[in-house]
Chain A
Amino acid sequence: MPLVARGDTGAFEAIFERHAGVAYSLAYRICGSRAIAEESFQEAFLSIWRNGARYDQGRGSVRTWVLGIVHNRSIDALRRASVHQRRRADDEGIAERFEAGERTDVEVTRREEVRTIRAALDGLPQEQCRVIELAYYGGFTHTEIADMLDAPIGTVKGRMRLGLEKLRLALGEGR
């Protein structure tokens, strides 16, 4: 990242190559539309290029930083879009956009990572999983979620907290 901050395009390209897949997957999952996902994906990476100097190694990995920017941009894009577009991405046509070709070790590891986290999420009580997904992937605030589910705000907040606690345990302390 220090090289990116100094304007090294090769270093930026390496960062792009390493994180583009998971970043695009996240953007698509949040936006639910290829056009919006592509827009937020591009915005995020241009922001990373322009603001590389803001990366603070002490606050987490490059991947976490990159995905945080992608998440924020995607939620912003989603909120700009109509309410009708604020839904979970359906899986229609998703299969053909899976990475094709040889299964490299990196790809196999990545798929295993997805399976592990997905299993941990699916293992949460449904009401906890729901509020977490609505917040993180749907971009809804706790107030909006409380309205949608007709539940007290305190209950929604509590479910988020409990869900994250259980997720942490399911994924192991060392993550």
Chain B
Amino acid sequence: MKDAPGDRCTLAASVGPYLLNALEPDERAAFEHHLDDCGACSEDVARLRSAADALALAPPPLAPPPRLKRAVMAVVEREAAQRAGAEEPRRRWSLGAALRARPALALSAAMLLVAGVLVGGVLGTVVGGSGRATRTLVREATVRAAGARGYLETVGDVTTLHVSGLPSPPLGRIYEVWLARSASVPAPTDALFGVDMRGDATVEVPGSLRGVRQVLVTDEPLGGSAVPTTLPVIVARV
């Protein structure tokens, strides 16, 4: 075999670790800088890259669970709609708009507003924009309402519940988010929310999800409850 071109360079030994992502970060940066100037190492890297790339294809074939696709596509479609301007710039739930559009909602909306004030303005809070998260995790939720969908999105330390197509809670009631740990009774949160005209809502899940097995949503009396009084309408496994 012909001598590899990189053998003429003192850094040629780094070609293998570089292609395998096994250099320390500072070494990697230095080697990449070196590649700009060293034709021999560059040629070596180009020649051996196909072998390193092939390693990605060696693991036994597994099928991803279908829910992963649904979760990813839910985020993609939401972000595409935002890019296209199909949604409001910030999806902050607008009581005024809701009342203008459907005056019949005035009573329940007014009661929800009262609850929102009582619980510190959590009502209707919507987290908009996708952000440039370093880590995003999406978990599909089971929503017990025809045509409704939901998912949990965790970006860094912040987890947000997104729902769409969810009916408004019954008159005089509000949706409440719960955190279920092990076999204990679900713990209440101060996240109380209503939905907009399309049944959409985006609600930040308060607190840490450490040790939490499920995020639940029930409808409760305005102001929330200390223990759930109805069966969950949303269950999201953490």
Contacts and interface: CB of A to CB of B under 8 A. Distances in A.
B68 A157 contact: no
B73 A39 contact: no
B17 A135 contact: yes
A103 to B, nearest CB: 11
A126 interface: no
B69 A20 contact: yes
B35 interface: no
Contacts of A71: 21, 56
Contacts of A167: 51, 54
A157 B14 contact: yes
A14 B73 CA distance: 11
B72 A42 contact: yes
Interface stretch (B101-109, B130-138, B166-174, B217-225): B130-138
Interface in B1-46: 4, 12-17, 19-24
Interface string B57-75: 1111111110011011101
Contacts, number: 182
Nearest to A64: B53
Nearest to A111: B61
Interface of A: 7-9, 12-13, 16, 20-26, 28-29, 38-39, 41-43, 45-46, 49-50, 60, 64, 67-68, 70-72, 75, 89, 91, 94, 97-100, 107, 110-111, 113-114, 117-118, 120-121, 132, 135-137, 139-143, 145, 154, 156-165, 167-168, 171, 175
Interface of B: 4, 12-17, 19-24, 47-65, 68-69, 71-73, 75-77, 79-80, 83-84, 130, 132, 135-138
9 contacts: A22-B57, A38-B68, A42-B72, A71-B56, A98-B61, A132-B55, A157-B14, A162-B16, A175-B54
